[in-house]
Amino acid sequence: MSILVSIFICVCIVVIAQLLLKTGVGKPSGQPIPLELIRIFTTPRVIIGFLLFIFSALLWLRILQYADLSYAYPMLSMAYVLIVLSSKFILKEPVPLTRWIGVGIICTGIFLISQS
Host domain of residue 54: 3-114
| Nearest of 71, 80, 61, 63 to residue 14 by alpha carbon | 80
| Nearest of 3, 16, 14, 17 to residue 70 by alpha carbon | 3
pLDDT digits (tens, 9 = 90+) for 73-95: 999 999 999 999 999 999 999 99
Q: How far apart are CA 18 and CA 97, in angstroms?
A: 22
pLDDT of residue 26: 87
Q: How far apart are CA 56 and CA 77, in angstroms?
A: 15
Give the pLDDT band (50/70/90) at residue 114: confident
Size of the chain in residues: 116
pLDDT of residue 116: 78
Cβ contact 63:3 at 8 Å: yes
Q: Residue 37 pLDDT more than 80?
A: yes
Which range is least confidently modeled, 27-36, 44-53, 70-79, 101-110?
27-36
Q: Cβ atoms within 10 A of the Cβ of 52, count?
A: 20
Q: Residue 7 pLDDT more than 90?
A: yes
Q: How far apart are CA 13 and CA 55, in angstroms?
A: 8
The domain tally of the chain equals 1
Task: Enter the pTM of the model.
Answer: 0.90
